Each structure stands twice: as structure tokens, then as C-alpha cells.
Amino acid sequence: MGINTNAKAKFIETSCRLFEIKGYHATGLNEILKESGAPKGSLYYHFPNGKEQLALESIKFSCDKITTNLKNFLDKFKNPIEGIAANIIGLAEILENEKKLRDMSISLLALEIYDTSEVLREACEQTFSSIEDIYIEKLIEYGVDEDRAKEMATIILSLTEGAIILSLTRKNGEALRTAAKQIQVLINV
């Protein structure tokens, strides 16, 4: 009897969803096992270090989705600021239609684990850096000086992630729409 090759993906996808809904600390391995439908024996086969390793893989999975989606979306725009603003408005619409932003932000997980797990904090930091790198690249391609592009990327990420938290808390996309509008005002390229 071999280990189910889809089990690892099921565990990661289920963990992403549960960590988003319930948080890292409130999600147990038994719940992940039950929700994933994957064989119990395969959990420690794929994740011998348990929940923290599973969370690490979940963060990496989310990072790949977030950065791929962001890069593909911004590639459609000549002016990166217009693309960034349109992307943020799209997040507002997703939140209002689906009442969640699955695989679009790791802010809430980062806030929960930043002082309890250095490994997970570093993975969240790497995700944020990867997002900033996309903004930097697009801004430089547009003709923005590298130092200014780095500062602008931090402003864009900070404003967006803060607006995500406010929008989720308020259960509407107005903070995201305001962020999109203000990014165009603040970031003059």
C-alpha cells in the first residue's frame, strides 16, 4: 500500500483554508485530517515536523498563488499604478461577493504567529518581500528609480494589507477601494 500522492496537496489546501477561517492556533491536526479526507498515516509521512511544517508549506503555497496572480494581473497594464489600483479594487469585489479573500493575503496569519514561530514569521516575511519585489520590478520597468521603487513598493504593500484587514473586519470592501484611490494619489509616476 503506497502513500497517496494527492494527500500532501489535500493537506496543504485544507490547512490554508482552515488557517484562514479559524487561525493557526485554533486549527488542530485532527481537524485538518478530517477535512482533507487524506489518510492519517500520510500526514507525518509528508510533514514529519507536524503542524508547523504543514503551516510552512501552506504559506509557501499561498505565496506562489498570490505572486503568480499578482504578476499575471499587473502584466496586463502599461502603467503599474493603474494595475495595482485595479487589483486592489478586484480584492474589494472578491471580498464583497465571497466574504473572504482566500489565498490573497497572509496578513492575518502573520499577525497571529509573528511572535510564536520564527520559521513561520520568516515565511510570511518572505511572502511580503516577494510581493514587494513584483511591485519594484513593475515600477522600474515603468521608469521609476530603483530606490524610489523600493519605497513605493513598501507603501503599496502596507496600504493594501492594512486595507485588507480593515475590509475583512468591516465585512465590506470600502477600505480597499479607498486604498486603491489613494495609491493613485500618493504614488505619482
Instruction: Write out pLDDT tens, residues 96-144.
Output: 887 666 666 788 888 888 899 999 999 999 999 999 999 999 999 999 9
List, for residues 5-58, the tens digit of each pLDDT value.
Answer: 688 999 999 998 888 888 899 999 999 999 998 888 889 899 999 899 999 999
User: Global pTM?
Assistant: 0.89
pLDDT of residue 64: 94
pLDDT higher than 80, residue 71: yes
8 A C-beta contact, residue 183 and residue 88: yes
pLDDT of residue 1: 39
Whole-angstrom distance, CA of residue 57 vs CA of residue 130: 16
Among residues 36, 35, 33, which one has the least CA distance to residue 44?
33
pLDDT of residue 101: 66
Mean pLDDT of the chain: 90
Q: Which residues contact 64 (CB under 8 A, 6 or more apart)?
A: none
Cell of 182: 489613494
8 A C-beta contact, residue 121 and residue 113: yes
Pick the CATH number of 51-186 from 1.10.357.10, 3.40.190.10, 1.10.4030.10, 3.40.50.1260: 1.10.357.10
Domain boundaries, the chain: 51-186
Cell of 146: 530603483
